[in-house]
Amino acid sequence: MKEPTSQLETLARATFAGFFESELIQPGLPQVRLIIFAILVLMFPATQIPMRAAQAYDAIGRMRPEMLDLLMWPHKLLFITMAMVGTSVISLMVWDNVFPDRRDAFIIGPLPIRTRTVVAARLLALGALMGLIALGSALPSALFYGFVAGVFSPGGIIRTIPAHFIATIGASMFAFLLLLTLQGVLINLMPGRWLQRAVIVLQFIFVVASLEALLFMYPMIDGLEKSMAAGAGTRTAWMSWAPPAWFLALYEVIAGTSRPIGRFAIPAAAGLAILLPLAFGLYAFTYQRLTRRAVEARDTERIGGGVGREPIAARAGALMTQAGIAASVARFAAVTLLRSRKHRLLLTIFAGVGTTAAAMSVLVPFSRGRLASMFGADAILPVGFVLIFFLVAGVRMLFAIPAEPPANWVFKLSDAEDARLHVRGAVAGLVSIAVLPVVVLLLPLHLWTQGPRVTMIHSLLLFSAGFLLAEIVLYGFRRVPFTSAYSPPATRARVMWPIWVIGFLQFSFGLSALEAYLIDGTVPALALVGVVAAAALAMRLAREWDFRLAERMLSFDEGEEDRPVTLELGQVRAK
């Protein structure tokens, strides 16, 4: 019995450590860094809210003690929703490593280890991953906020701290298990060629739904309050589909509330009881199928329906350039991003966050009952700018993450050519991936809400502003996308984040506010488009002039001994 136990422990530890292996994280205790960062983010409201809430609770408790628990609901719901959002984001960041890949199949497959031992080890590692994420999201707030809320609650600290811990850790586990279950269902129902696309759609919807829950906290609280009124069953039926509200009700029931909201706590307990065996059971049942698919699949997938076909984004990027090398780099960038699962997953996260941020300008008036203003120019025009900013920033980050570094020899051989053409192709690829799809996809929304004239001007401004942003983020970039070794710029990120925040606010809302001010006049609005386009052209000229002055060549982050020797016949000049 000792040998299987030793195998189980070794495989479980190795599998758990493998969950956190990523090109996004520097080597050396990566899982510790990721977990510490996530816990620090989740601890911020856990340390700030209790200090500010204690005074408000004390004042309300003296004036209207019967309303004190309702005053606590927004804070409790915030912690529950933050636990679910944090779990969703962290899970998606490591999700590509949760399921077996070719390396697992080729290394573990030939070893004399029983399949049930491998499956049991992976289930133990999954349970440890879920428990670690849930514990990090629940324990800090339970200690800090649970103590403060317990002082002013009828159940006291003894019941409030366990209630807070159970509700938040349950919400975190619910998000993890739901994602694992949905992916297991897709694996069993979807054919192989459609599976990855369905998974990307699922992950996008999951990110958006998790983040949008923060926006609908107050409607959920209002629904809970209305549910306590007589005959409110039909008016609050939608609350039965709001998991954060379930766990808030579970929180209150455990804490000893006297309010009649216990029926909303039943789905929380039932959901965990159903999802826990279902998620792990589906994972164990589909393990061999996943292993077989991992062996048969590739890290990159074929794009297009046949020979000679390529994505529309690749063709659009090539059309934006004239030189052959620039067009090739643009095609390479678009095709590589769409074929690589890990790059598409990360782009999905950026797109989901951007969609959530963009939807806030439309949904905030809706959540407050102002239906007329949610389709006005002030609400609709920022949507495209927000989406473009997040997608451009995301694709720029992904350009630095290698897809197939050994395949960069083709670009090394063309290094003797003008390096500016390679970067020009990278800009075209970035625009074709992150800017042009947003402009095209938002055309129906703009035509419906703003009319043809505003749609034409706004689309031109979106494209010009996206082109300008692409030129800015690629200033100083002297690589071919996806071909260079990656080292996470941790120090630079700590310095640059204020600039990114200011840039986001000015690009997304400052530029859209200026457009909304000028949009009533065609000539002023078109003048704004011209100014932005001229700024994009000036940025390109400045970037290429910098290349010429510094005589820069492409960088692959390798030593000179690794670079291929070229004859550089194109640079020979007659004397």
pLDDT at position 361, please? Answer: 67
Q: Are residues 284 and 327 in the same domain?
A: no
* Nearest partner of 449 among 404, 357, 384, judged by Cα: 384
Whether 287 maps to a domain, the answer reads yes
**Residue 275 binned pLDDT confidence (cut-offs 50, 70, 90):** very high
Indicate if 115 and 68 belong to the same structural domain: yes
Q: Which residues of 213-250 are buried (b: 16+ CB within 10 A; e: fewer)?
A: bbbbbebbbebbeebeeeeeeeebeebeebbbbbbbbb
Q: Is 565 inside any structural domain?
A: no
- Examine the domain organization and report whether 147 and 207 are in the same domain: yes
Least confident of 112-116, 202-206, 408-412: 408-412
Name 340's bridge partners.
300
List Cβ neighbours of 220 (8 Å cut-off, separation of 6 or more). 77, 239, 242, 244, 245, 248
Residue 378, exposed/middle/buried by CB under 10 A (0-12, 13-18, 19+)? middle
Three-state secondary structure string covering 279-324: HHHHHHHCHHHHHHHHHHCCCECCCCCCCCCCCHHHHHHHHCCCCH
In a domain, 570, yes or no: no
Asked if 96 and 197 sit in the same domain, the reply is yes
pLDDT band at 328 (very low <50, low <70, confident <90, very high): confident
Q: Which of the residue ranges 101-110, 239-248, 468-477 has the most confident prediction, judged by mean pLDDT? A: 468-477
Q: 400 with 272, same domain?
A: no
Range of the domain at 351: 313-484+492-559
DSSP SS3 for 340: strand
Nearest 5°: phi and psi at 571? -105, 5
For the chain, percent of residues with pLDDT exceeding 70? 75
Asked if residue 266 is part of any domain, the answer here is yes
pLDDT, mean of residues 491-508:
74
If we measure between CA atoms, which residue out of 149, 124, 137, 182 comes closest to residue 8?
124
Same domain? 209 vs 355: no
Q: What is the enclosing helix (H) or strand (E) of 366?
A: helix 341-367
Separation of alpha carbons 454 and 438, rounded Å: 16
Task: For residues 429 and 426, give the distance between their C-alpha atoms in angstroms, rounded to a whole number.
Answer: 5
Taken in order 64, 67, 72, 74, is the CA torsion positive or negative?
A: negative
Q: What is the pLDDT of residue 26?
A: 43
Give start and end residues of each alpha helix (H) in 190-216: 192-215
Does the residue 566 lie in any domain? no
Residue 298 pLDDT class (50, 70, 90 cuts): low
C-beta atoms surrounding 103 within 10 Å:
10
Task: For residue 569, tell me if it sits in a domain.
Answer: no
328 and 225 within one domain = no
Contact 98, 20 (CB under 8 A): no
The whole-angstrom separation of Cα 121 and Cα 125 is 6
Among 145-149, 315-319, 375-379, 552-556, name the one with the lowest average pLDDT. Answer: 552-556
Supply φ then ψ for residue 340, to 5 degrees: -85, 125
Same domain? 230 vs 322: no
- Per-residue confidence band for 14, with pLDDT thresholds at 50, 70 and 90: confident
Give the residues across from 300 on adjacent strands: 340
- Separation of alpha carbons 516 and 510, rounded Å: 10
Q: Which of 214-223, 260-269, 431-440 has the highest mean pLDDT?
A: 431-440
Q: 518 vs 562, which has greater pLDDT?
A: 518
Q: Which residue has the higher pLDDT, 317 or 415?
A: 317
393 versus 412: the higher-pLDDT residue is: 393
What the block records as the tokens of 339 is 């074929």
Between 286 and 309, name the one with better pLDDT: 286
Average pLDDT of 182-186?
86
pLDDT of residue 165: 93
Residue 33 scores a pLDDT above 70: no
Q: What is the dihedral of CA 446, 449, 453, 456, to 10 degrees?
A: 0
- pLDDT at 250 (0 to 100): 92
Q: Per the structure, how many domains does the chain have?
A: 2
Q: Are residues 259 and 363 in the same domain?
A: no
Among residues 262, 296, 330, the one where a domain terminates is: 296
State yes or no: pLDDT of 470 exceeds 80.
yes
At residue 124 the predicted structure's pLDDT band, cuts being 50, 70 and 90, is very high
Q: Is residue 497 part of a domain?
A: yes
Query: Is position 462 within any domain?
Result: yes
Q: Report the pLDDT value the prediction gives residue 414, as an integer from 0 to 100.
A: 60
Rounded CA-CA distance 222/74 in Å is 10
Q: Give the confidence band of 468 by pLDDT, cuts at 50, 70, 90.
A: very high
| Mean confidence (pLDDT) of the chain | 77
What would the two tokens of residue 255 be? 């804490």
pLDDT at 308: 47
> Is residue 317 domain-shared with residue 233, that is, in the same domain?
no
6 and 111 both lie in a single domain? yes
| Same domain, yes or no: 285 and 323 | no
